[in-house]
Amino acid sequence: MQEVQISSQSQVIVRKNARTLKFFKDCKRFILTQKVGSISILFILFIVLFAIFAPVIAPNDPTAQNRDAFLAAPSATYLMGTDDLGRDVFSRIVYGSRISLIVGFASVVISLVIGVLVGLISGYFGGKIDMLIQRIMDAIMAVPALILALFIAALLGPSIQNVIIALVVIEIPRFARIVRGEMLRIKEMNFVEASKSIGSSPLRIIWKHGLPNTLAPIIVLASLTFGQAIIAEASLSFLGIGTPPPNPSWGLMLSNASRYMESAPWLVIFPGLALSFSVLAFNLLGDALRDFLDPKLSS
Please give the pLDDT value at position 26.
72
Q: What is the residue-averaged pLDDT of the chain?
A: 84
Which of 22-26, 63-67, 201-205, 273-277 shows the lowest mean pLDDT across its residues? 22-26
Confidence label for 6 from pLDDT (cuts 50, 70 and 90) = low
For residue range 277-295, what is the model confidence (pLDDT) as tens digits?
A: 998 998 888 888 888 876 5
Residue 7 has pLDDT above 80, yes or no: no
Average pLDDT value for residue range 86-101? 91
Residue 190 has pLDDT above 70, yes or no: yes
Please give the pLDDT value at position 13.
61
Please give the pLDDT value at position 110.
94
Average pLDDT value for residue range 202-212? 83
Label each residue of the chain as H, E or C: CHHHHHHHHHHHHHHHHHHHHHHHHHHHHHHHHCHHHHHHHHHHHHHHHHHHCHHHHCCCCCCCCCCCCCCCCCCCCCCCCECCCCCEHHHHHHHHHHHHHHHHHHHHHHHHHHHHHHHHHHHHHCHHHHHHHHHHHHHHHHCCHHHHHHHHHHHHCCCHHHHHHHHHHHHHHHHHHHHHHHHHHHCCCHHHHHHHHCCCCHHHHHHHHHCHHHHHHHHHHHHHHHHHHHHHHHHHHHCCCCCCCCCCCHHHHHHHHHHHCCCCCHHHHHHHHHHHHHHHHHHHHHHHHHHHHCCCCCC
Confidence label for 16 from pLDDT (cuts 50, 70 and 90) = low
- pTM for the whole thing? 0.84
CATH of span 37-293: 1.10.3720.10
Residue 112 has pLDDT above 50, yes or no: yes
